[in-house]
Structure 1
Amino acid sequence: MHPLPASASVRVRRAELSDLDDLVTLEESSFDTDRLSRAQYRRHLDSDSALVLVASANHRNFLGTAVVFFRKGSRVARLYSIASKPETRGKGVGAALLDAVEAAARQRRCHAVRLEVRDDNAGAVRLYERHGYRHIGHYPHYYQDGTHAWRYEKSLD
């Protein structure tokens, strides 16, 4: 794939079944552990309590994805996963996905978005902090490989 041109605009939309192969490929290339399976993605695509988003540019050029969960009776959305192709990092894909997650959470009348992030993922931590997420907790040995997690939250009010 060619790098994202500076003039390309990132578009975010709800994922469709036709995106399944791209979703699984990005998941497998982005995460060594704690991956969503093809079956999980398929289930989330049809779920009322999950939203799978994809970012693209120049028509169907797949750039990244985000998965957000909405629990019935809760006004807090949970950003479960966000990933972008390595060659697009730092080019607005993560920011566009975060904006879309927050817009979807507001639409569902959520007052906050929470997430966990590996404490060794400095790029993701910077992205979240630049977008107004604040550190609210730490979970030792959170991930399958034993890595610790930071918990972040952004108020949408």
Structure 2
Amino acid sequence: MSAAPSRNSAAGRIRRGSLADIEAVLALEALFPSDRMSRRSVRRFLSVPTAQVLIAENADAAVVGNLVWLRRKGSRAARIYSVVVAPTARGQRWGERLVLAMETAASAAGCERASLEVRADNAAARALYAKLGYREVQTLPGYYDDGSDGLRLLKPLLRV
């Protein structure tokens, strides 16, 4: 998988994660109500060529969000596996910046589309994805560990 672009601004940056980010990613994962990644999963995603972890850092270099995306070898599809933004950093476009950085990296890696699953009751995430051009293509009854319904979303990606 190609390297993610580093998107820097006065408000912080998006960079590719490394094994040094395990604790920060796990702290963000603890914010999920269910379906949290384990330490082993995070370590694997930070190490394998078919996954990429993007890290959002604020201007003080504090980790305020992350996104994990996957691509099967030989596939032209990218799958957003997880997006988390710290509550203190919400409303600052970190989720949007993470998704856009993923789309750029996925397009550069030859992906033609991106997909993801989102909780049906997560109105904020659904609004963000709709704003970015993702469309709901499937309802997933009882998809999450706690029995909540999910939605599968899809977006065609522009080739870089």
> Above 0.5 in TM-score?
yes
Residue 4 of structure 1 corresponds to none
Q: State the distance in 2 between where 1:126 and 1:118 align.
A: 12
Q: What residue is the counterpart of 1:13 in the other structure?
A: 15
Contact 1:77–1:114 (8 Å) recurs in 2:
yes
Secondary structure of 2:69's aligned partner: strand
Q: Which piece of structure 1 moves more, 14-23 or 139-148?
A: 14-23
CA shift digits 1:7-43 (9 cap, x unpaired): 9423111111111111101101x21211111111111
Match of 2:26 in 1: 24
Q: Which aligned segments of 4 or more residues in structure 1 are displaced greater than 3 angstroms? A: none
Aligned AA (2:141): P
Letter in 1 for 2:16: R
If the length of structure 1 is used for normalisation, what is the TM-score? 0.92
Unpaired runs of 5+ in structure 1?
Answer: 1-6
Contact 2:16–2:55 (Cα < 8 Å) also in 1: yes
**Unmatched segments (≥5 aa) in structure 2:** 1-8
Write the distance in 2 (CA, Å) between the matches of 1:142 and 1:55: 28
Q: In terms of mean alpha carbon deviation, does 54-63 or 124-133 score higher?
A: 54-63
Counterpart of 2:14, as a letter, is V
Distance 1:97 1:63 in 2: 11
Q: Is 1:99–2:100 an aligned residue pair?
A: yes
Secondary structure, counterpart of 2:118 in structure 1: strand
User: What's the RMSD between the two structures over aligned residues?
Assistant: 1.2
CA contact (8 A) 1:10 1:93 kept: no
Provide the rounded CA distance (Å) in 1 between the counterparts of 2:60 and 2:70. 27
Give the structure 1 partner of residue 6 of structure 2: none
Tell me the CA shift for residue 73 of structure 1.
2.1
User: Which residue type is aligned with residue 24 of structure 2?
Assistant: D
- Helix, strand or coil at the partner of 1:33: coil
Identity %: 42
Code of the aligned partner of 2:79: R
Q: Which residue of 2 aligns with 1:64?
A: 65
State the match for 2:5 in structure 1: none
Query: 1:93-138 CA distances to partner (integer Å, 9 max, x unpaired)?
Result: 0011001110111011000100000000000000000011111111
Q: Using structure 2 for the length normalisation, give the TM-score.
A: 0.90
